[in-house]
Amino acid sequence: MAKRRTSNPKAVKGLEINPVTDGYVVHDADRARIHYLNPTGAVILELCNGKTTEREISELLQLAYELSEPPSAEVQECLSNLRREGLIG
């Protein structure tokens, strides 16, 4: 079983975040990259404020989407993708 991260992820500084109908368009000028986040990815990025734990993000999504259990695996996958793309630390 993979070790679960317990960090408080935080969006990196300098991102230009623009809401669009179906999520966010994020411009990372430092890396000359544009990212398109779906609505769930946009919510997760919003929750990456350096105060909210990864577990709390899963629990908040459970409440927001009225799920029977926290979507822990899906949140971990999204956070991993955001880290890999350099959008959160």
If one counts the domains in the chain, the total is: 1
In a domain, 9, yes or no: no
Instruction: Residue 19: give the domain boundaries.
Output: 15-84
In a domain, 63, yes or no: yes
85, 32 Cβ separation under 8 angstroms: no
Q: Per-residue pLDDT averaged across 59-88, rounded?
A: 97
In a domain, 6, yes or no: no
In a domain, 3, yes or no: no
57-71 pLDDT tens trace: 999 999 999 999 999
In a domain, 60, yes or no: yes
26-60 pLDDT tens trace: 999 999 999 999 999 999 999 999 999 999 999 99
Sheet arrangement for strand 33-37: 15-20, 23-28, 33-37
Quote the pLDDT of residue 6: 55
In a domain, 24, yes or no: yes
In a domain, 51, yes or no: yes
pTM of the model as a whole:
0.89
